[in-house]
Amino acid sequence: MQNLDRIEAAASIAGKHEVSSISVSDAEQAAGRLEDDNLERAKALFAKNGYLRVENLFSAEQMRAFDHQYRSRNAKLLSATNKADKRPLFTVPIEGVFNDPAVLNNTLVEPILANFLGPDYIIAAVSAVASFPGAPDQHLHRDATQLFGKDNEVDKDVPTYSMTMLVPLIDFTTETGCTRVWPGSHRIGGREEGLAVGSLDPEVKAGSVLLTDGRVLHRGAANRSTRLRPLFYLTFHRAWYRDFWGYENRPPLILPEGEFRKMAPTSQARVGWFRDRYAKVRRKYWLRRMMPTALRMKLFKDI
């Protein structure tokens, strides 16, 4: 059997896993913090499995506001797509309901993020993906660009350096397609070896989120329903880590100056990296990429 065939065979194996999950109680919502035992359970489950479902994080009112702004701002993208995989990706501007501490610095999940990424972690990206009806299984991948080696052979032994929080705007079911994960694969080197543990499709209701380690193997499952499956997500990094793979043609953050000034100081600290000199270099790079070669040569002599 060819190597690619073996990988796909391993990817088809369903594992015997329970969903790694915690639920936020009404009392925790009111207090704006997780109880100690719930927090410790969250940390233990995420460390073991590389993902965690956090139930009841957002209210129904918040979800309606997210959904309205998401759909109204991206109406053209959501009316049609010519992408072969029927999964358009786009950057979500940090404005309106998305410029809110409940999104950018949620006190219920902040201790989980800080435990794995350090207290000075950054918001590296705020993006969205919509899965159209008929979208096939997404390609297998790990989110984070490897620090050392390849196929997680070395990175499996280092602390977490990248996490993502997926926020579904409708219920994610086996019909609409879940984010399929291979529990524990963030601590396993090699793709075949990681996939051999078997997969799990954690259903996530609107109002709940899915946290994933950047090294865990996963993919969006096929959308077999007749409904659009929209979500937005935030990517968080350790303060020193930068990963722009997949953002060659779009910025990881869209942050108007006026919106930055509205932010709470803690949220400003999370996105401040984007305003430094390094970010300006990145924007210059994207500008160059969009220009015809002759014009780039004329304007930028160092290319």
Q: Nearest CA to 167 among 246, 76, 106, 84?
A: 106
What integer pLDDT is reported at residue 108 of this predicted model?
98
Q: Which tokens go with 253?
A: 């953050």
For the chain, domain boundaries:
3-272
Q: 36-49 and 110-117 helices cross at what angle (nearest 10)?
A: 50
Strands, DSSP E only, in 132-228? 162-168, 179-181, 209-213, 218-220
Nearest partner of 288 among 300, 279, 277, 276, judged by Cα = 300
CB 211 within 8 A of CB 165: yes
Burial tier of 203 (Cβ tally within 10 Å: 0-12, 13-18, 19+):
middle
Are the CB atoms for 193 and 256 separated by under 8 Å? no
The pLDDT of residue 301 is 47
**Which class is 3-272 in CATH?**
mainly beta
- pLDDT tens-digit profile, the chain (303 residues): 568 888 888 999 999 999 999 999 999 999 999 999 999 999 999 999 999 999 999 999 999 999 999 999 888 878 777 677 788 889 999 999 999 999 999 999 999 999 999 999 999 999 999 999 999 999 899 999 999 999 999 999 999 999 999 999 999 999 999 999 999 999 999 999 999 999 999 999 999 999 999 999 999 999 999 999 999 999 999 999 999 888 888 899 999 999 999 999 999 999 999 887 555 655 665 666 666 666 655 665 443
Give which of 137, 162, 150, 267 is closest to 216, Cα–Cα: 162
Coil, helix or strand at residue 292 = coil
257: left (phi over 0), alpha (psi -120 to 50) or beta: alpha
CA distance 212 to 166: 8
| Sequence-ordered alpha helix ranges (H) in the chain | 3-11, 26-31, 36-49, 60-73, 75-79, 101-104, 110-117, 191-195, 257-262, 265-271, 277-290, 293-299
CA dihedral for 23, 213, 232, 255, sign (positive or negative)? positive
- Sign of torsion, CA 97 101 107 109? positive
Query: Residue 302: its pLDDT value, please?
Result: 42
* Confidence at residue 79, expressed as pLDDT on a 0 to 100 scale: 77
Q: Among 200, 229, 227, which residue's Cα sits nearest to residue 212?
A: 200
